[in-house]
Chains A and B, each alone.
Chain A
Amino acid sequence: MTSDAAPGAGCAAVAVSGLRYRWPKAHADCLAIDALTLVAGERVFLRGPSGSGKTTLLSLVGGVIQPQAGEVSVAGQPLSRLSTGARDRFRADNIGFVFQLFNLLPYLSARDNILLACRFSAARRARLCAAGVSAQAEAARLASRLDLDAGALERPAAELSVGQQQRVAAARALIGRPGLIIADEPTSALDADRQQAFVDLLLGECAASGAALLFVSHDLRLAAHFDRVLDLAQINHAAAAEAGT
């Protein structure tokens, strides 16, 4: 299943070099990372204390914010070479996000939340089409893989439990097979049993679709099944981060 997966297979899923980032109005750099690479399909656990810049790094990898120096490439594409609009389309096509909380638009059903990813991305639709499945069918398939029953799919997102919401978010990130899944502490609102179950589901689906996974958490207990564990504090040389720790 991995062979025909995302575009840029063969290239690194993520490549960061010489990165410097400082938030507007901040007095010191938030991030200073010399090198960070995720090979295609690699599943990496990124740990770091609160405020150490994990979410900031994910925003940079997603191309939502631009570094002051250095380069971020996703699937071989240097993000700084893209225009702002192209960067937004690139993100829609190649990266799936799962956040800590409130991943869903409350006024849409779970199904429509999943399909939203396809609505924003022609490439995801095209990949589904090439694979010969409809977006609807794929949404249903992912939902059942993630233990969401059909009834839950029809309900407004606001009526789902937190655990269900996170699984819907995972399905939305995965639909249309983007090459990279980024998860920002997706389990912190779940209880301990559920946390491990969710991580295992996510790992399994990423493996099934061939996507690389960049999973952020400060909870090392969840790191067991990952290919690699990274400590942000060790790769980040920014003064602010060092002062903080």
Chain B
Amino acid sequence: MTPVLALSLRSIGNRRLSVVLTVIAVALSVALLLGVERLSNDAREGFAQTISGTDLVVGARGGAVQLLLYSVFHIGNASNNVSWQSMERIAALPQVKWLVPISLGDSHRGMRVVGTTADFFAHYRHGADRALAFGQGRVFAVAPDGIFEAVVGAEVAARFGYRPGQRIVLSHGSLGGEGGPRFADHADKPFTIVGVLARTGTPVDRSVLVGLEGIEAIHIDWHGGAPIPGLSIAPEQVRKFDLSPKSVTAALVGLDSRIAVFRVQRQINTMAGEPLTAILPGATLQELWSLVGMAERALLAVSALVVAVGLAGLVAVVVASLGERRRELAILRALGASPLQIFALLAFESLLLSLAGIVLGLALLYGVVVVAAPWLSAQYGLNLAPDWPSAGEWRLLGAVLGASLAASLVPAWRAYRYSLADGLTIRI
């Protein structure tokens, strides 16, 4: 076999250009396949860790996915609010370490306004235990000083060019985007931006965060979703009123110990007085991803097809070269090469090319990962690391190798047939 394999290398060298082009095509398709796999893995992980430090999310009685959607992803609305008394009772449970209330319902230029407390910044975690970080500025001050102070997420700041010190007006209601139906503005009580958060890749990026007292304050002269006609209370005067919240939309709850999570969940779900629902955000996120995961699988299927196209191109090039190499095969036969050696020659050649493609594709992937990682992290909160291929990626590589092995049999088999059928006739 050895003289034949050495010849194969020389023969490949003789057809450099077409060989290099097909190897590049295979490399690109392999890089795409692994890139998609890696990105979707990362997206899945990032998604599952949208809120990672929170043990329970509590809201009015309803479906788990719905609660997660409106409280964390700001999609849709709560059917009911939760009374402040219930909040206090949950916070008083012995296993509860902290509770961060969330009040939704207002918006700013299509972005949700989240009424909460300064604790939100202390306890919210995303990814692998990453806390919120400030790009600029600081947390809003506690009431009464910070009633009209706001912190904006990275996306909000980037989209509208916001910096600390700028004043913004909140709108009542949260339906529609910037172009959607507009509700009345709270124009009489503008907020001052005091901080801009660093990007997280979570819905926090698209939020405007204010204190719960701020939410109370802008609605003090409202009733039933509309301003009370003839009543207008100036910002300076709101401080005289009781701004403590009567109800909120949901709450994030942290426990002393994870072990107690099911017990506390049951306690909240069966609490007398108000029908509540407590969910484990991680489990519900998994459930949600299984819906989103369809798209991920479709993407993987498409890139698998691209690999198939790349390999088909490789086979086409090798088979096409066979036409002009039929005389080469006849020469080798005359010199004593067996049909099996001819088979091995061609199989080795295509396999070598696909291997080169796979290796180059991996190199390409790592190159892109290293170059693009900082940008992807800043833009999309995706954290690609040039890690050793995961088990899933090895499986994909194995599948590609298997496919290229199968593909390499096509030209090999043709050459084998030629070498038997042609005899010593030198065909041109």
A97 touches B327 (CB 8 A): no
Chain B neighbourhood of A155, CB < 8 A: none
Q: How far is the CB of A211 from chain B (nearest CB, A)?
A: 16
| Residue of A with least CB distance to B13 | A107
Chain A positions 82-119 with a Cβ under 8 Å from a chain B Cβ: 84-85, 88-89, 91-93, 97, 99-108, 116-117, 119
Beyond A55-B423, A92-B336, A102-B426, 11 additional pairs, beta carbon < 8 A: A55-B425, A85-B340, A91-B334, A100-B426, A101-B428, A102-B331, A103-B331, A106-B14, A120-B3, A120-B337, A172-B335
Docked-complex contact A117 and B425, CB < 8 angstroms: no
Q: Is the CB of B424 within 8 A of A184?
A: yes
- How many residues of A are counted as interface, with CB atoms below 8 angstroms from the partner's CB atoms? 33
B11 on the A face (CB < 8 A): yes
Is A97 a contact of B338 with CB atoms below 8 Å? no
Q: Say yes or no: A88-B428 contact (C-beta < 8 A), given A55-B423, A59-B423.
A: no
- CA of A84 to CA of B331, assembled, Å: 17
Task: Contact check, B424 vs A64: say whether CB atoms are below 8 A apart.
Answer: yes
Q: Which B positions have Cβ atoms within 8 angstroms of A?
A: 3, 7, 10-11, 13-14, 327-328, 330-331, 333-341, 421, 423-426, 428
A208: Cβ under 8 A from any B Cβ: no
B337–A88 touching, CB < 8 Å? yes
Once the chains bind, are B424 and A62 in contact (CB under 8 Å)? yes
Nearest CB of chain A from residue B324's CB, rounded to whole Å: 10
Chain A residues engaging chain B, CB cutoff 8 angstroms: 24, 55-56, 58-59, 62, 64-65, 84-85, 88-89, 91-93, 97, 99-108, 116-117, 119-121, 172, 184
- Tell me how far the C-beta of A57 lies from the nearest C-beta in chain B, rounded to whole angstroms: 10
Which of A59, A93, A121, A172 touches B425 (beta carbons < 8 Å)? Answer: A59
Least CB separation from A61: chain B residue: B424
Q: How far is the CA of A110 from the CA of B274 in the complex (A)?
A: 95
Q: Is the CB of B423 within 8 A of A107?
A: no
What are 21 A-B pairs at a CB distance below 8 A?
A55-B424, A56-B423, A59-B425, A64-B333, A64-B334, A64-B424, A88-B341, A91-B336, A92-B336, A93-B336, A97-B424, A99-B330, A102-B428, A105-B10, A105-B331, A106-B14, A108-B7, A108-B10, A119-B3, A120-B335, A184-B424
